[in-house]
Structure 1
Amino acid sequence: MLNYTPKEMVEREALVINPCKTCQPVGALYAALGVHGCLPHSHGSQGCVAFHRMYLTRHFKDPIQASSSSFTEGASVFGGGSNLKTAVKNIFDLYDPDIVAVHTTCLSETIGDDLNALLIDITPTLSEGKYIVHANTPSYFGSHIHGFFNMVNGFMKYLSVSTGTSNGKLALFPGWLNPGDYRELKRLMTQMNVPFIMLPDTDGTVDTPTTGEYTMYEKGGTTIEEIKSLGDCKSSLGIGLTISAPSVGFLDKKCKVKGDTIPYPIGIDATDAFILKLQEFSAEEVPASVENQRGHLVDMMVDTHQYTYEKKVAIYGDPDFVIGMMALCLELGMIPKYCITGTPSLTFEQEGKSLLEKYGVKEECKVQAATQLNTTTDLFLLHQWIKNDAVDLLIGGTHGKHIARAEDIPLVRAGFDVIDRYCHSYFPVVGYEGAMRMVEKITNALMDYQDSHCEEKDVEMVM
């Protein structure tokens, strides 16, 4: 189908083709899954939550659970307050979660349901030890990234308090990552001897092991008590300038916990910055095991540079992921020719341009984010750019595969969402370990392409 994408660029104002994002409730649902004993609840129609669950199930290859207010015509006209009250009672009676996390949809937002007022009425009816929180996540504004941090902030709004006594821990907001990334972040913090509370944490909730027994709520996830004690943390650290800065700011405003935000620790420089932040917190030496990992990564980059040097790459996806991959590709000597995100971001373009200046890239490159008024930074636009000036590699989610097929370009699948391959969510892209994995994937993709496209006389046994 995308073979017919025209090369000629046409100005678009109100038409998005193959968007590079999805809607807020998907992000809110994923954030809620990172809390232990939590059942996400979609305040809208059954069709809404079915789509959100399907989207996440296809990416994680794991059943995603969530409930719905099940709007019908009446609720769509007169409001869904009674639906929510009935739903909450049924949820606690039938499924017995510790906490219900309610997010809105475009339908309930358009009607104007006042979730704050509804939850004030509902909360006194809950049994002791049971909780309900909410976040406003209109589908027609922002993207899944906004829904994610809105829900993270919703948990803190209802639960986090400051007792005045520090618990000596680091509050880590890891952003939207896969469970394998969360595990790697926790491993590095443990090795650096940093006590922490991480919100959210989907390690063990969307990648559950097969044991032969069904469990409604798995062992993983940030506990309610941990969320409460975020207000007593010594400091906070946000991973990802677009996705985590709002949560760092919210915790500071509510509980006076000062914090900082850094880019995703993808590649050498960004992971170094993360490790130094942890060292600053713990005041301890970096262990030899971490230094050895860094050395292995450097060795891999030196070994593979002849295949990656000056290769042009197009990167698409969530803003913080794209910036992280840009940094790694630049460290490999590659040229990030086109970098786009469909998520409106105030920092994305400046971050990208700063990276290009830092590494002295002289070739003209395009770094572009959608805005609230112009959302046409999509994969159709990326495809047109590529038709006018080709690249050697694509890095991003599954929805770029048609571009890869149409233009005969190798695709390295990474980020969100990857729905046509398996096992990706178990392995990290962050940290030195994650960078080693990405160096392998990028280099092998380029070498496989060379093997499959060169003339018979040029096929090399040893490359």
Structure 2
Amino acid sequence: MLEGTTAEIRERKALRINPAKTCQPIGAMYAALGIHKCMPHSHGSQGCCAYHRSHLTRHHKEPIVATTSSFTEGASVFGGLANLKTALENIFTIYEPDIVSVHTTCLSEVIGDDIPMIIKKSEESGIIPEGKLVIHANTPSFVGSHVTGFSAQCAAFVDYLAESTGAKKNVINLFPGWVEPADMREIKRLAEMLGVEYIMAPDTSDVLDSALEGEYQMYPDGGTTIPQLKAMGDSMATLALGPMASTLAADKLKKKCGVENKVLELPIGIGGTDAFVNAMRIAGDVTVPRELEKERGRLVDMVSDMSQYLHRKKVAIFGDPDHVTAMVKFLVEVGMEPAIVVTGTKGKKWVAKIKEICSEVNPDVEVAAFSDIHYLHQWIKGNPVDLLMGNTYGKYVAKSEKLPFVRFGFPILDRVGHRAFPLIGYTGGMRLIEKITDAFFDKRDREDADEDIELVL
């Protein structure tokens, strides 16, 4: 375990220990899986693709389908043109997708492969069948993170596919950000409750949480369709959820097709969901239904009921910038106190944003971008906290420091509920309160003396 971690913090400029991120191609692969009948293709070595598929498979507990250019020493020297052309021919012959989404890796980026040129040559030679599509995103692993890879892939959907006919339709585009399939389903449910017509891209619901019905489907029923992606250029507005994951695609759509956009934080908790619902209400010119107001009321009631257990509890939290920002806002609104906030992705503006959110409850909050879980652990040793929140890799810190631990974000490799139950929206907020209070109560049940154990809290 991590009992050898010391409280002494030394400056590290070129070393990350247990980084709170992974590489860009994983994000690109996840986004591509949210397009109906799309085959994600990793342009690089077979090992890269195997790792990315494995990580997503372990998180979602679903078989992740993707192909690879399978670079060898020859491709590493002479380039991957031949490998990619052969791969595309095999993919369309064997797997019959409607679209192939190529994302690069470190090796193909260092070589300098010109992917658009290779796609063009493949079209000219008839390798890409008529009516089929190939798009690409540049996602080298030596810069950025899985979040920026997801962002680049979403922007590629717009670059290649979005079209404007000049006839605006009463439709709202939704870029959901990197969230779970259950969260994407919840975003759609909220839109439908409001009576808003929408196009959401990508959409991994019914793809990475599909039903087990006795027959394998390489391309499940879910996912955004190609006609929907093309139609995004005629929508009247775009709501982009998660600034780091969705802003790039929303801005490209505005520049390309003139669709105005509004960028919001992920709708986690009361304030975050309020902002999303209100933006949908204004954009769609609709009225918020009574049932949705009652959902909000149930969350407010639960927060009120549990406030005595949450008030001024110190929280250490790490993860992706969009996830952490929304979660920190939620913690503050329920009366908790973020003590240290860490992400593995670069972002000076993000640091300033977190400090502003925490300014009233803890102006001395420690905020670190482009950092790692090792630093978080060292800081906790000198500044005890009541709760740890983050992905599965935090379990070692939680065990070492005997902390209650609430899992959220990516990856979660040792639990299953994240793909089935949303954290988005008012119902997601209720689940979060349950998870947080359960963690506190379970710790008390484990550690309290026999005479202190309560039957009713």
**TM-score normalised by the shorter chain: which range applies?**
over 0.9
1:229 is matched with: 231
Q: CA deviation at 1:447?
A: 1.2
TM-score scaled to structure 2, two decimals?
0.98
Structure-2 residue corresponding to 1:76: 76
> Which is worse superposed, 90-99 or 327-336?
327-336
Q: CA RMSD in A?
A: 1.0
Task: Report the Cα offset of residue 149 of structure 1.
Answer: 1.0
Give how far 1:350 is off.
2.1
- What's the counterpart of residue 182 of structure 1? 184
Aligned to 1:461: 455
- How far residue 347 of structure 1 moved from its aligned partner, in angstroms, is 3.1
For residues 446 and 331 of structure 1, the distance between their equivalents in structure 2, rounded to whole angstroms, comes to 18
| Mapped partners of 1:286, 1:320: distance in 2 | 26
Structure 2 gaps, min length 5:
none
- 1:311 aligned to 2:276? no
Q: 2:245 maps to what in 1?
A: 243
8 Å Cα contact 1:134-1:154 kept in structure 2:
yes
1:134 corresponds, among 126, 133, 136, to 136
Q: Which deviations, in whole Å up to 9, do the C-alpha atoms of 1:409-436 show, x marking residues without a partner?
A: 0111111110011232111111001000
Q: 2:399 aligns with which of 393, 397, 405?
A: 405
- Equivalent residue, structure 2, for 1:291: 293
Distance across 2 between alignment mates of 1:224 and 1:271: 29
Q: Per-residue deviation at 1:128?
A: 2.4
Secondary structure in structure 2 of the residue aligned to 1:168: strand
Query: Where does residue 42 of structure 1 map in the other structure?
Result: 42
In structure 2, the residue matched to 1:373 is none
Aligned partner letter, 2:116: N
**Residue 435 (structure 2) pairs with residue 433 (structure 1):** no
Cα distance in 1 for residues equivalent to 2:347 and 2:277: 26
Whether the 8 Å contact between 2:151 and 2:244 is mirrored in structure 1 is no
Q: Distance in 1 between matches of 2:329 and 2:434?
A: 16
Take 2:433 and 2:296, find their aligned partners in 1: how far apart are those partners? Answer: 13
Structure 1, unpaired ranges of 5+: 371-376
Find the partner of 1:421 among 405, 408, 415: 415
Q: 1:170 aligns with which of 169, 172, 190?
A: 172
Structure-1 residue corresponding to 2:52: 52
- 1:383-411 alpha-carbon deviations (Å, 9 max, x no partner): 01100101110111000000001000011
Superposed displacement of residue 10, structure 1: 0.7
Q: Which consecutive aligned stretches of 4+ in structure 1 deviate over 4 angstroms post-superposition?
A: none
Q: Which AA in structure 1 matches 2:13?
A: E
Q: 1:143, 1:343 within 8 Å by CA — same for their partners in 2?
A: yes
Structure 1 counterpart SS, 2:196: coil
Supply the AA of the counterpart residue of 1:344: K
2:87 alignment partner in structure 1 = 87
Aligned equivalents of 2:303, 2:285: Cα separation in 1: 30
Match of 1:9 in 2: 9
Query: Which amino acid in the other structure matches residue 12 of structure 2?
Result: R
Q: 1:388 maps to which residue?
A: 382
Q: How many residues align?
A: 455
Amino acid at match of 2:405: L
Q: CA deviation at 1:138?
A: 0.4
Q: 1:346: how far off?
A: 4.4
Q: Is the 8 A contact 1:165 1:232 kept in 2?
A: yes
Quote the residue 1:279 is aligned against.
281
Residue 26 (structure 1) aligns with: 26
Distance 1:87 1:40 in 2: 12
Q: Which residue of 2 aligns with 1:342?
A: 344
Question: Residues 117-128 of structure 1: matches in 2 within 5 Å?
Answer: 117-124=117-124, 125=126, 126-128=128-130
- 1:38-91 alpha-carbon deviations (Å, 9 max, x no partner): 000000011000000000000000000100001000001110001000100110
Q: Secondary structure at the match of 2:169?
A: coil
CA distance in 2, matches of 1:426, 1:129: 35
State how far apart, in whole Å, the 2-side matches of 1:297 and 1:367 are: 28
- 1:331 match: 333
Determine what percentage of the aligned residue pairs are the same residue: 50
Residues 208 and 130 of structure 1: is their aligned pair in 2 closer, same or farther, counting only changes over 3 Å? same
The answer (yes or no) to whether the contact 1:242–1:347 under 8 Å persists in 2 is no
